[in-house]
Amino acid sequence: MASIFSQIVEGEIPARVVYEDETTMAFLDANPLALGHTLVIPKEEYERLNDLPDDLASDLYDTLQKLIPVVEEAVDASASNVAFNNGEAAGQEVPHVHGHIIPRFEGDGGGP
């Protein structure tokens, strides 16, 4: 069974896609921790960050770098938490690598 994120890649499940290229995709989190909470994934399904082949890890990093300022600007945030939950015991619920971009705002309490 393909992961829920693979089903989004295939267009089988709707998502608010904010970016897509040949190897990566980004869409809004369905249960956002903050306005603009965005998930960035490799289109190909790997469970953990350390499973990614180097070229895909590089593509994913490039997309994250590109999108962090775009996401922050879109919601007028001044910073963001960028995080990967890597493995179930670390809180990873979807077994398909994804980076969280969680916008942060001045005076919002600090810390994830």
Record the tokens describing residue 45, joined without a space: 């399904």
Amino acid at 57: A
Whether 98 is catalytic: yes
Interaction of residue 112 with ligand 5GP, rule CB under 6 A:
no
Query: Which residue, 68 or 98, is less far from ligand 5GP as judged by CB?
Result: 98
Q: How far is the CB of 27 from ligand 5GP (least distance, A)?
A: 5
Q: Draw the binding track, 20-49, toward ligand 5GP (x: CB under 6 A; -: no contact).
A: -------xxxxx-------x----------
Interaction of residue 92 with ligand 5GP, rule CB under 6 A:
yes
8 A C-beta contact, residue 48 and residue 90: no
Instruction: Give me the DSSP letters along the chain.
Output: ---HHHHHHTTSS---EEEE-SSEEEEE-SS-SSTT-EEEEESS--SSGGGS-HHHHHHHHHHHHHHHHHHHHHTT-SEEEEE---SGGGT--SSS--EEEEEE-TTS-S--
# binding residues, ligand 5GP (CB under 6 A): 14
Interaction of residue 15 with ligand 5GP, rule CB under 6 A:
yes
Residues 52-91 that bind ligand 5GP (CB under 6 A): 85, 91
Residues of this chain that bind ligand 5GP (CB under 6 A)? 4, 13, 15, 27-31, 39, 85, 91-94
Active site residues: 98
